[in-house]
Amino acid sequence: MRRSNLLSIGGYFLGIFFMILGAVFYRQPLITVLILLMMLLPVISIALTRAAIKKLSIEVSVPEGEISMPSDLNITIRLNNRSPFPLLNCELRFNLRNLFFPTPPVQELVLPAEALSVHEFKLPYTLGGAGMFDFTISEAYITDYLHFYSFKLPYTFHREIPVLPEKFSLPPVSLTKALIESDESETSPEGELTRDLLQLREYRPGDRIKDIHWKMTAKTGDISVKEYERSKDLYYLILPELDINYLQRDLSLFYSLGLQLIKQRESFRVAIYHSWDKSFDMYKIGDDDALIQALYRLYLEPVEKISTAMESFDYQYPDMQGVIRISNGNFILPAEPEIY
C-alpha cells in the first residue's frame, strides 16, 4: 500500500465518521443505509479492479534502429482492456535519459484504460542532442476507483535508442596520417597498399591501369587486376576528446569526418578513450556500419569537464604522430592548432 492510498482511506473513513455523527444527531434511517453502502464500496472497488487487471495488457513501441538529429522521438503506449470494467488509474513510472548525463527524476504518467477497448497514447519528445537514449518503465500500478489500494503489475520495459549526430558538410579531407609511409607501399583510391600480392580478380571500374596483370589478361581474354595487401602502418587515426562544453559539436564533427573519409574510400582507425582506467580501444573503420558501431561505443563513455584523452594518449603512444584530434569543437593536429 502506498502513501497516497493511506490519505484516500483516511479521508474516506473520516467522511463516514461525520455521517455516523449525523445519523446519531438527526436519527435518519436513510443516512444509516448510506453508511452501510459506503462500508461495502471499498470491497467492491478493489474486487472489480482486481478482476479487470487480469485482462489488461500494456504494449510500448519505440522507433527501431537509429534516429538522426535533428529529430523528435515518438513513444507509443497501448493499453488493451478486455474486461467490461474501466481502469481509470493506470500509472506508469518511467525515465528517459541520455547516457551522457546523470539520471533525471522518475516521471509518472497516469492513463485511463476504458472497458473493452484499445487506446494508444503518444509521448513526443524533442531531442536536445545526439547520444544513446535509455527509455525505461520501472513500475506500473493500477489503483482502484476509490484509491484505496494500488496493484503493482509485473510489467517493466527497457530499450536503448541510438540518436546519430547532425551531419556537417565537409570538404575533401587531406590531413596527416598517423604513421610514416614505408618505402614499399603505394597509394590507391581504397587506401594505402603494400606490394604484397593478395589475389588476382576481375577488373572493376576505377581500377588503375598499372595494376592490370597483362599476362593473365592475354591468357584468359578477361581483364585481370592485381589486388595488394593493405599496409598496416599508415592510416588516419581519429581521437575524439569529449568534454561537456562542446559535446554535441564534437560528436557531429567525429561523425561527419568519418563519413567523409569513408566517401573517399579511406580505411581509418578510431581511438576510444576510457577515462576510468585511462586506456584506449582501437576500432578499424571501413564502412558506415563500423563507424556507427564506434559511435555507439563512444556514447557509453562518461563525459569529462576537461578531457584528459590526449594527455593519456601521448603517454602511452609517445611515437605516434599526426593524430587527428576532435576537441573543443574543432579538428586539431599537434603541429597545427586548428584545421577546421
Q: Give the total number of structural domains in the chain.
A: 4
Average pLDDT, the chain: 83
What's the chain's length in residues? Answer: 340
Residues 252 and 273 in one domain: yes
d(Cα 44, Cα 49) in Å, to the nearest integer? 9
Q: Which helix (DSSP H) or strand (DSSP E) does residue 191 occupy?
A: strand 191-202
310 belongs to a structural domain:
yes
Planar angle of CA 107, 110, 116, nearest 5 degrees = 145
57 belongs to a structural domain:
no
Of the spans 8-12, 158-162, 266-270, which averages the highest pLDDT? 158-162
CA–CA distance from 260 to each of 174, 211, 276 (Å)?
A: 11, 26, 31
Handedness of CA 277, 279, 284, 288 (dihedral sign): positive
pLDDT of 136 > 90? The answer is: yes
Give per-residue burial for 263-292: e unless 16+ CB within 10 Å, then b.
eeebbbbbbbbeeeeeebeebebbeeebbb
Specify the pTM: 0.72
31 belongs to a structural domain:
yes
Domain hosting 20: range is 3-45
pLDDT of 233 > 70? The answer is: no
Residues 285 and 246 in one domain: yes
DSSP H stretches of helix in the chain = 3-26, 29-53, 214-220, 247-263, 288-299, 309-316
pLDDT of residue 286: 87
326 versus 30: the higher-pLDDT residue is 326
CATH code (residue 132)? 2.60.40.10
83 belongs to a structural domain:
yes
Residues 322 and 240 in one domain: yes
pLDDT of residue 209: 79
pLDDT of 186 > 50? The answer is: no
53 belongs to a structural domain:
no
Contacts of 290 (CB under 8 A, 6+ apart): 283, 284
Residues 208 and 225 in one domain: yes
Last residue of a domain, one of 164, 180, 207: 164
pLDDT of residue 140: 94
pLDDT tens, position by position, 241-260: 988 888 999 999 999 999 99
d(Cα 164, Cα 160) in Å, to the nearest integer? 13
Please report, to the nearest 10 degrees, the dihedral formed by the alpha carbons of residues 269, 275, 276, 281 taken in order: 0
What's the mean pLDDT in 57-84?
A: 91
Q: Poorest-confidence range of 2-11, 54-63, 152-161, 240-249?
A: 2-11
210 versus 192: the higher-pLDDT residue is 210
DSSP summary character for residue 304: B
